[in-house]
Amino acid sequence: MGILCLGVTMIKTNDYILTTQNLSKSFKGFVAVNNVNLKILRGNIHALIGPNGAGKTTCFNLLTKFLDPSEGSIYFNNTDITKQKPAEIARRGIVRSFQISAVFPHLSVLENVRIALQSKQKTNFYFWRSEKTLKELNQKALELLHLVELETYHNQLAIELPYGRKRALEIATTLALEPELMLLDEPTQGMGHEDVDHVMKLIKSVSTGRTILMVEHNMKVVSGISDCITVLSRGSVLAEGDYQSISSNPEVMSAYMGTQATESK
């Protein structure tokens, strides 16, 4: 431990977009996240890995305040955000995706993205206004769909998309908010090889100008695009560093072995 993660393109090495101090969460005595000190460098793609049940999703829930930490604090751009509500966190620029696919199933593909674009509008409580006023957002929504190659499906209901495309739609929806920090929970889970490659490239390409923290089991993705890796095991940070130091770390190996290897995913 103690190895610094240097962003390849970074000039300053201590420009952290997100840090946590002694972040902990226990569920009725069971400690799911234990004293975690994260430091996410601005501009990095930072991977959070660990065996099943390590506390990765719980970490995400804490960072986005879907859960209240039992202890510790969270700083975003040096501001303490520990006490804020999830919607406030999102408006500040931290937008998350979910481990299980999270689209709006009975809205059209276009509407899925547009609802994200709409969240910055001031007209959201105007129940007397026609929804036709939202049409001005369609162009932008289609551009985002183009980015994830879903343009041709814009009229379909999201529920009718195959799994891989649903995940791509989620990324487009998340991107619509132009988040400074994107949290992706297993973006390639359950995808075929081609889709994985595609999403990996997509993540790489949207990472310019923003920071990405992702939970990922697929080691090909982790080694391919992440600048820095944090390994969680039983709620605590086990190791941190670049792919090489992590992959040769015997503690990490045994942690994965101990619970069963999940790399095969």
Partner 1 sequence: MRIAIYLILLIIGAVLPHFVYPVLLMKILCFAIFACAFNLLLGFSGLLSFGHAAFFGGAAYVSGYLIKNLELPTEVAIIGGVLSAALMGWLVGILAIRRQGIYFAMVTLALAQMVYFICLEAPITGGEDGMQGIPRGSFLGLSLKDDLTLYYVIFTGFILAFLIIYRTIHSPFGQVLKAIRENESRAISLGYDVPKYKLLAFVISAAFAGFAGILKMLVFNFATLTDVHWHMSGDVVLMTIFGGIGTILGPVVGSSIIITLEDQLTDSAGDMVTVIMGVIFVVCVLIFRKGIVGESVALYQRMLGRKNLPQVK
Ligand X SMILES: Nc1ncnc2c1ncn2[C@@H]1O[C@H](COP(=O)(O)OP(=O)(O)OP(=O)(O)O)[C@@H](O)[C@H]1O
- Which residues contact partner 1 by CB under 8 A? 64, 66, 85-87, 90-91, 95-98, 102-108, 111, 114-116, 118-121, 123-131, 133-134, 155-157, 160, 173, 177
Query: Six-digit token pair at 199?
Result: 């999403």
Structure tokens at 44: 């990095």
Q: How far apart are CA 120 and CA 138, in angstroms?
A: 14
Place of tokens 């209240």: 68
Q: Which does 86 bind (CB under 5 to 8 A by kind): partner 1, ligand X, Mg ion, none?
A: partner 1
Sign, CA dihedral 113-116-122-126, equals: positive
- CB 36, min distance to ligand X, A: 11
Answer whether 89's CB lies under 8 Å from 64's CB.
yes
Of the pair 130, 264, the CB lying nearest partner 1 is at 130
Q: Tell me the backbone φ, ψ of residue 232, rounded to 5 degrees.
A: -105, 145
Name the minimum Å distance from CB 100 to ligand X: 10
Residue 119 binding target from Mg ion, partner 1, ligand X, none, CB below 5 to 8 Å by type: partner 1
| 56 touches ligand X (CB under 6 A) | yes
- Is 57 a binding residue for ligand X by CB under 6 A? The answer is yes
Report the distance separating Cα 160 and Cα 252, nearest Å. Answer: 40
Query: Least distance to ligand X from the beta carbon of 261, Å?
Result: 13
Q: How far is the CB of 180 from ligand X (least distance, A)?
A: 23
Helix ranges (DSSP H) in the chain: 56-63, 86-92, 109-118, 138-147, 163-176, 193-206, 219-225, 243-247, 250-259
Binding mask 63-102 for ligand X (x = CB under 6 A): ------------------------------------x---
Q: Which of 2, 8, 29, 52 binds ligand X (CB under 6 A)?
A: 52
Instruction: Please report how close the Cβ of residue 22 comes to partner 1 at its closest, in angstroms.
Output: 25
- Polymer length of the chain: 265
37-73 core/surface letters (b: 16 or more CB in 10 A; e: else) = ebbbbbbbbbbbbbbeebbbbbbbbbbbbebebeebe
CB of 247 to partner 1, least distance (A): 32
What does the radius of gyration of the chain's CA atoms come to, in whole angstroms? 19
Interface with ligand X: number of residues (CB under 6 A): 11
Considering only residues 54, 172, 181, 237, which one is a binding residue for ligand X as defined by CB under 6 A? 54
Q: Is 208 in the site for ligand X (CB under 6 A)?
A: no
By CB under 6 A, residue 53 contacts ligand X = yes
Report DSSP state, residue 134.
G
Whether the CB-CB separation of 241 and 58 falls below 8 Å is answered with no
Binding to ligand X in span 95-134, by CB under 6 A: 99
What's the min distance (Å) between Cβ of 191 and ligand X? 16
Q: Does 50 bind ligand X (CB under 6 A)?
A: yes
Give me the residues that bind ligand X (CB under 6 A), please: 27, 32, 50, 52-58, 99
